[in-house]
Amino acid sequence: MSDTYAAANSMHVLQVDDRPLLDETVEFPDSRGPDSLTLTTTDRADSALDRLEGTAIDGIVAADNLPDRSGREFAEIVRERDSNVPVLLLTEPESVASDAISNGVTDVFRRDTAVARRDLLANRIRLLVEHHRSTELASRTRQQLTELAEQSSELLWVFSGDWTEIQFVNSAYETLYGRSVESLQTSPDEFMTAIHPTDQDRVIQSMQRVSAGESVELEFQITRPDGEQRWVRAKAQPIVEDGTVARIVGASRDITERKRCESEHIAEIDRPDAPVDAVPDLFYELDENGELARWNDALAAATGYTDADLGPMSLTALFAPSDRETVRQGIETAFSTGETSFEADLLTADGTTVPYEFTGGRITAADGSPLGVVGIGRDISARESRQQALEQQNKRLGEFASVVSHDLRNPLDVARGQLELAQIEHDSDHLDAVKRAHGRIGQLIDDLLTLAQNGETALDSEPVPLQTVVEQCWQTVETGDTTLELQTSTVVRADPSRLRQLFGNLIRNSVEHGQTPHTERQDDAGEQRATTSLSQSQRPAADLTLTVGELDDGFYVADDGVGIPAGERDTVFEGGYSLASGPGFGLRIVDEIVDTHGWSITVTESDAGGARFEITGVEFETA
C-alpha cells in the first residue's frame, strides 16, 4: 500500500488491537535506518480496513482475537487487497500459530512475550517492514532493467562467466534466432547450435577470450529453425569481480541486409566487364599478395594520385600511419575468413586524411585457392553529424542510467546497513534471503549500467513502411481490448529499430494511460504519481481506439482516451513524467528518437478528445 522505496525517517504501522501494546511512537536510537515507528491504532478490524483505503501503511500488527472478527480473518482480507504489505499476528500462548502463515499472515509473535518485551515486538515489526521494502526495491529494479532492455531492437543478454547459465535475455532473441527465450533459459548453449559450422570455431575462440577477461566484437552466420540464414554482429564484455569473470554482458544485432547489399555490390563490380568507373564508391582489387591490382577512377579522385602514381605504390602507403596495421589485419582477415570490414583514414596526396569504411571479399579459383580480394570503400565523413546526434542520445541515456544508479543504490546501501544490524540481533533464514536479494539488486544495477553503455553506434536510415512497423509493435505491446486503426500506407526514411521503439512507446502510452486521470507533481525531484490506485492505472484501457495516420510532412498517433491536460503538454517529454506509477521515461525516449532523426514532435488533443502526438519534418520515400 506504500509505493515509497526511499528509506524514510519513520515507518507508518497500523496497530489493530483492543489491548494495544505499543505507543503512538517507538524510537530506535541505535538504528542506522528508520529511527522510529509511527503507529495508528484502532480496536476493530472493520475500522482498520477503512483506514487502509486512504492511508499509506508500511506494515500491520494485529491481535488474533478482535471484537468483530479474528485476526486471521482480517489478515486474509488485507491480503486480498495487497499481496505484499507485511502483517504480524499477535497470538495467545495456547494458540496454534502454524496455520496462520497460510492465512495471509507474514509472521507471528506471542502476546505474552510482547507484553514482557515490547522492544522485541517493535524490532520484529521494523525487520518485517525493511524486508518488505527490500523486496519492493528488487521488483522495481528488475522492472526498470526489463523496460530498458525491451526498448532496444538489439538482442541484449547476460551469461555467467563460463557461459553455462543465461541470467538475462530480452525478447529480441526470438526475433533474431527464431527460438523462444524459454528454450534458451533451459539450454543456455542452444544459441551455439544455430551458428553456421564454418563460424563455430571462431565464435568458440571469441567466447574463450571473453571468459579470460577480454572484450570482443565479431560477425557470424546463424541458421534459424526454418532454414533461413542470417548474419549477426555481436559484442561481448566481461564483468570482473575479485579478479574473476563473474558475468558476460553483450548485445547482438541482425546485419543480414547490410551483408546482402555488400555481396551484391561486390559481385556486380567484380565482373570483368563491369563499368567500375561508374561506381561512386571506391573500388579496389588486390592480388594474391594483397597489393593493388585494379581500381576505379574514384580512388584516384579521392587520393589525388594519378593512375601512374597508384600503380607502383604499396597498399598501406595510401593510409595514415596509425591505421596501416588495421589495414594489414583487415586484408589478412579477408584471405583467411573470406570477407572483411574495417575503418581507416585514407591519406591523400596533399597529406590530408579522409575517414573511410572498407568491405571486401576473397576471390577464389575453381580449385578453391585464393586469387585475391575485391571490395569497396565508402567515405564516412558525413557520419560526424550522426555522431553528434548519437553523443546527445548517449548523454540522455547516461542521465537515465544515472537516475537508476543514484535512486536505487542509495536506498540499497541503507537497506544493507540495516540488514547488518538485524543479523547481529537475530539469526534468521529470512535475513539470509534478504541478503541474497540485496546482492541480486546490486548485480542488476551493474549490468543495467553496462548494457546502457553499449548503445547503437549510428543512425542507419532506410525506407521503412509505417504500416509494417506499427503492426509489428502492436504484437509486442499488451493492448488488451484496444482497437487499432491504420490510416497510412506511406514509407518513410528512418532507422527501423528506433522507429519501432517510437511506436512501441506511443502505443504503450495510450494503452496504459488512455483512461488515467492527469498527474500531480509531488516533490522537488519531479516524481509524479497518478491520482488513481496502482492497480487501476496499470490495467490496459478498455474500449480504447488508437489511430495511426499521415500528415503532409509526417504522421500522427492518436487515441480517444482521456487525453493530456493542456497545461501539462509542454512537460510530457521530460524524464520522470508518468501518468501511472512507472519510471516515466517512455515519452522521453520518444523525444530522443524524434530529435535524433531531425524531426519535430508536438502533443495536442485528438478529434475524439484524447491524446494526439504529431511527428513532422519526416522524409517520405517515393517510388
Asked if 212 contacts 193 with a C-beta cutoff of 8 angstroms, the reply is no
Domain boundary among 340, 357, 376: 376
The percent of residues in the chain predicted with pLDDT above 90, rounded, is 20
Asked if 510 contacts 563 with a C-beta cutoff of 8 angstroms, the reply is no
Average pLDDT (438-447) is 66
Element (H, E) at 208: helix 197-211
Average pLDDT (434-459) is 60
Q: Is 254 found in the same domain as 369? A: no
SS3 labels along 123-154: HHHHHHHHHHHHHHHHHHHHHHHHHHHHCCCC
Domain boundary among 147, 169, 194: 147
Average pLDDT (252-258) is 85
C-alpha cell at 411: 536506498
CATH number of domain containing 58: 3.40.50.2300
In a domain, 50, yes or no: yes
In a domain, 110, yes or no: yes
Q: Is 212 found in the same domain as 158? A: yes
Round the CA-based radius of gyration of the chain to a whole number and report it.
31
Average pLDDT (368-395) is 75
Q: Is 239 found in the same domain as 325? A: no
Q: Is 362 found in the same domain as 480? A: no
Give residue 34's pLDDT band: very low, low, confident or very high (50, 70, 90).
low
Q: Does the reported pTM lie above 0.75?
A: no
Residue-wise pLDDT tens digits, 203-229: 999 999 999 999 888 888 899 999 898
Greater confidence (153 vs 114) lies with 114
Query: Of 469, 619, 604, 461, which is closest to residue 553 (Cα–Cα)?
Result: 619
Q: Is 143 found in the same domain as 55? A: yes
Greater confidence (423 vs 223) lies with 223
C-alpha cell at 556: 500522427
Residue-wise pLDDT tens digits, 518-574: 444 334 333 333 333 323 333 444 579 999 999 999 999 999 988 888 888 878 887
CATH number of domain containing 328: 3.30.450.20
Asked if 38 contacts 13 with a C-beta cutoff of 8 angstroms, the reply is yes
Q: Which domain holds residue 134?
A: 10-147
Question: Would you say residue 17 has pLDDT above 50?
Answer: yes
Using DSSP bridges, classify how beta strands 282-286 and 244-254 pair: parallel, antiparallel or unpaired.
unpaired
Greater confidence (87 vs 524) lies with 87
In a domain, 106, yes or no: yes
In a domain, 160, yes or no: yes
Quote the CA–CA distance of 149 and 143 in Å, as a whole number: 10
pLDDT of residue 440: 63
Question: Would you say residue 583 has pLDDT above 50?
Answer: no
Asked if 186 contacts 169 with a C-beta cutoff of 8 angstroms, the reply is no
Q: Is 366 found in the same domain as 226? A: no
321 φ, ψ to 5°?
A: -50, -35
Domain boundary among 307, 341, 376: 376
Q: State how far the alpha carbon of 24 is from the alpha carbons of 11, 39, 86, in Å.
A: 12, 5, 19
In a domain, 419, yes or no: no
Q: Is 76 found in the same domain as 123? A: yes
Q: Is 198 found in the same domain as 142? A: no
Residue-wise pLDDT tens digits, 466-497: 999 999 888 878 888 889 999 998 999 998 88
pLDDT of residue 521: 37
Q: Is 577 found in the same domain as 474? A: yes
Per-position b or e across 399-410, b if 16+ CB within 10 A of its CB: ebbebbbebbee
Average pLDDT (429-439) is 76
Query: Of 147, 28, 540, which is closest to residue 9 (Cα–Cα)?
Result: 28
Q: Is 129 found in the same domain as 16? A: yes
pLDDT of residue 530: 34
Number of domains making up the chain: 4
The percent of residues in the chain predicted with pLDDT above 70, rounded, is 75
Which residue reads 587520393 in cell numbers? 303
In a domain, 61, yes or no: yes
Question: Would you say residue 369 has pLDDT above 50?
Answer: yes
Q: Is 173 found in the same domain as 214? A: yes
Question: Would you say residue 39 has pLDDT above 80?
Answer: yes
In a domain, 173, yes or no: yes
Q: Is 101 found in the same domain as 161? A: no
In a domain, 128, yes or no: yes
Element (H, E) at 602: strand 600-605
Mean pLDDT value across the chain:
79
Give residue 28's pLDDT band: very low, low, confident or very high (50, 70, 90).
confident
